[in-house]
Amino acid sequence: MARIRRKSLIGTLILAATMVGALFAVQGDPTTARPAMPAVDWPAMTLVYRVEGKFRGIDGPTDSRVFRLNYQGLYHWQKEQIEDSADPSMVGSTDSFEGTTNTFSTGNSDQIHSIDDHEVPLAPEQWLVPGRDRWLVDKYGFTKRPGADANHVVYTLTETLDCVPSDPANPTTRIPQPASCATSPTYQNTEEIVYRVDLDLPIPVEVTNRVGTEITRHVEVTQLTVH
């Protein structure tokens, strides 16, 4: 009887250890656990958007790029660059995502490349992720306020970031810094996103990034057609 009880105790211990191990395998390491798939998505739509930014350095000129996005879902979209004020050879560049494969080509080159290792969807842009607005306040610390009319809502994030001194002995490792870093150990970084909220799932239509008072990037959706 005691032997049976000992065997049963050992069996229980082995089972418990296996279950704890399995639990750690599933939840212990977020980088190896199977990722969750995004829960919501936008309907098929076409967007044209202009991105103006300091693409040639924080103290450089402002350049402009225009893209046309044909969006059928987070797993199925195509993007084409239709304008580039600084590098016209980029016009005609394409970028698409289909299932797990990202395919891209660059203007003025007939080379097409594919990278097929995407276990989660590749969004067309960071700001173009369906449902991201629901996380801006709680996860990222944005504040929310009404927009210019009842159809728009504005989210704003202001962060104070540390300036990083460059290594004078190695100028090639210089970190790009705002001009204000010459007189202050920190600088202010601001992001503002305007969402259209008269649709089933809000869509961002304007994004503005500032360093101090200077605009480093401004994105504006100039055409939006929901199919």
Contact region with another protein (CB under 8 A), list: 13-21, 128-136, 143-151, 198-206:
128-136
123 binds another protein (CB under 8 A): yes
The answer for residues whose C-beta is within 8 angstroms of residue 142's C-beta and 6 or more apart is 136, 155, 156, 157, 191, 193
Q: Which stretch binds another protein (CB under 8 A): 7-15, 20-28, 145-153, 211-219?
A: 211-219
Q: Which of residues 151 and 158 has its CB atom nearest to another protein in the complex?
A: 158
The Cα 42–Cα 226 span in angstroms is 9
**In the complex with another protein, which residue's Cβ is closer, 53 or 147?**
53
DSSP 8-state class, residue 124: S
**Is residue 147 classed as helix, strand or coil in its secondary structure?**
coil
| Of 126, 213, 223, 225, the one binding another protein by CB under 8 A | 126
Would you mind telling me the total number of residues written for the chain in this entry?
Answer: 227
Nearest Cα to Cα of residue 207 among 218, 197, 215: 218
Residue 91 interacting with another protein (CB under 8 A)? no
d(Cα 52, Cα 58) in Å, to the nearest integer?
A: 13
Sites for another protein among residues 139-168 (CB under 8 A):
139-140, 157, 161-162, 164
CA 215, 80, 83, 68 torsion-angle sign: negative
Q: Should residue 16 be labelled a site residue for another protein when binding is judged by CB under 8 A?
A: no
Q: What are phi and psi of 189, to 5 degrees?
A: -120, 125
Nearer to another protein, 131 or 147 (CB): 131
**Strand, helix or coil for residue 172:** helix
Among 42, 47, 49, 54, binds another protein (CB under 8 A): 54
Side chain identity at residue 153, one-letter code = V
Q: Contact residues for another protein (CB under 8 A)?
A: 30-31, 35-40, 51, 53-58, 60, 65, 74, 87, 90, 93, 95, 106, 108-111, 113, 115, 117-118, 120-126, 128-129, 131-132, 134-135, 139-140, 157, 161-162, 164, 172-176, 189, 191, 209, 211, 216-217
